[in-house]
Chains A and B, each alone.
Chain A
């Protein structure tokens, strides 16, 4: 019995000694020949060419100030007046309006079932969901939305991201996604485009107000998340850039 405990004890001490001496840093010595560096230097994961970095940093700061001093207080004031349920409903209403963008881009990427889902969602939510305010398609029929935009479609066809560009108000983007934004704008019901055959809105002033309303409503639903997300930043511009580029790559791969 005693022998048993002696063995147990020495085993323990060996383990403990091993732990306290080396365990926290054991990896550092064992890593020399591993290919971690390659994994994290993969050019596909990170936009190394950043010719606009000077401008991008300035625009990031302007956008951040715009958010902190104008958009966020406005959205907070709005959230104070309008209950969350109503804001969710309004969010659903707008999401339902953006149906054409999702439908077309799913189709362009041959995601046929997703396009059918989107079509069903639009039909169900526009009628039973009272003009899209209630997401009946999900709550009753469990049909999920499939977010796709033209930037993702371009990525699907192998178009590279191009360098990073921070847009005024819109925030992080890149050459490919700017092309995508322009294409999506053409079928976006919230836009007024004179050259377009069908316009729900009467003029670009209406479009501006509605887009503003949409933005404030959407922001009001995510203030806490965004503030929390931003707290992690050590350097805001590279943080947002790195996050945006990785996230887009991921979305395109899905």
Chain B
């Protein structure tokens, strides 16, 4: 019994503990390793689309700062005026929006290769990791933007696809929407979008 407990604890430690901190020098190796894992998952024909997405999210969730992404998409000024409950509610809905959008992209995946091109330290608290998605003769550039949080962990706060920032694109749309509608309506709109059949 005791042994079982210990082994359980041991496995628990191995799997949970290392997840909550990505150090600067680990970014490239972490991404390289997990992009390879993701490619294997994507190519696995025995898995359903939702299963693939689930597996991929479980790898990358730990390094995506969805709360910050929500704040940036809404815009700091507007964000400060919201109650913590509203912020939390929005973050959850927006995380779902982002994930569903990603999941829909899986339909387009065929046999693309993913490679890391370079890692650039833009400034003390920002690192841009440039990757290429190669499909036949087309090369799509995807940049993962990391920042250093208060406890020196590196997390992703935005992704540029073909030079277009995902967060900026949402931010523009949210600003436009919030100029004429209430914040609650924005949450409702995102919820409706999330629950649409894929």
Q: A27-B65, A27-B67 are in contact. Are A45 and B20 (CB under 8 A)?
A: no
Q: Which of A5, A15, A23, A45 contacts B165 (CB 8 A)?
A: A45
Q: A9-B9, A30-B150 are in contact. Are A246 and B164 (CB under 8 A)?
A: yes
Cα A233 to Cα B189 with chains together (Å): 11
- Of B32-40, B43-51, B113-121, B167-175, which stretch is located at the interface? B167-175
| Chain A stretch 180-237: residues in CB contact (< 8 A) with chain B | 224-225, 228, 231-235, 237
Q: Which of A25, A237, A250 is the most central at the interface, judged by chain B CB atoms within 10 Å of its CB?
A: A25
B168 in contact with A228 (CB, 8 Å) = no
Cα A23 to Cα B162 with chains together (Å): 30
Which A residues touch B75, using CB under 8 A?
37, 40
Q: Which of B72, B88, B155, B168 is the most central at the interface, judged by chain A CB atoms within 10 Å of its CB?
A: B168
Q: Which residue of A lies closest to B6 (CB)?
A: A5
Q: Which residue of A lies closest to B21 (CB)?
A: A15
Interface SS, A side: helix
A62 at the interface (CB under 8 A from B): no
Q: Which residue of B lies closest to A37 (CB)?
A: B76
Q: How many residues of A contact B (CB 8 A)?
A: 47
Q: A231-B101, A243-B169 are in contact. Are A36 and B163 (CB under 8 A)?
A: no
Q: Which residue of A lies closest to B62 (CB)?
A: A23
Q: Which residue of A lies closest to B65 (CB)?
A: A27
A238 at the interface (CB under 8 A from B): yes
A8 at the interface (CB under 8 A from B): yes
Q: Which of A26, A45, A46, A234 contacts B150 (CB 8 A)?
A: A26
B165 in contact with A228 (CB, 8 Å) = no
Cα A23 to Cα B16 with chains together (Å): 13
B43 to chain A, nearest CB (A): 19
B12 in contact with A239 (CB, 8 Å) = no
B163 in contact with A34 (CB, 8 Å) = no
Cα A9 to Cα B8 with chains together (Å): 11
A242 in contact with B168 (CB, 8 Å) = yes
Which A residues touch B172, using CB under 8 A?
46, 238-239, 241-242
Q: Which residue of B lies closest to A27 (CB)?
A: B68
A5 in contact with B9 (CB, 8 Å) = yes
A247 in contact with B163 (CB, 8 Å) = yes
B16 in contact with A12 (CB, 8 Å) = yes
B171 in contact with A25 (CB, 8 Å) = no
B70-81: CB near A (< 8 Å → 1, else 0) gives 011001100000
B138 to chain A, nearest CB (A): 10
- Per CB-CB distance, the 10 closest pairs between chain A and chain B, nearest first, are A250-B163, A30-B150, A242-B172, A238-B176, A27-B68, A246-B164, A234-B173, A235-B173, A37-B76, A238-B173
User: Could you give 18 example pairs across A and B, Cβ below 8 Å?
Assistant: A12-B13, A15-B20, A18-B20, A25-B91, A27-B68, A27-B71, A27-B155, A28-B68, A30-B151, A31-B68, A36-B71, A46-B168, A225-B108, A228-B105, A231-B104, A235-B177, A237-B176, A242-B172
Q: Which residues of B does A touch, CB under 8 Å?
A: 6, 9-10, 12-13, 16-17, 20, 65-68, 71-72, 75-76, 87-88, 91, 101, 104-105, 107-108, 125, 137, 147, 149-151, 155, 157, 162-165, 167-177, 189-190, 193
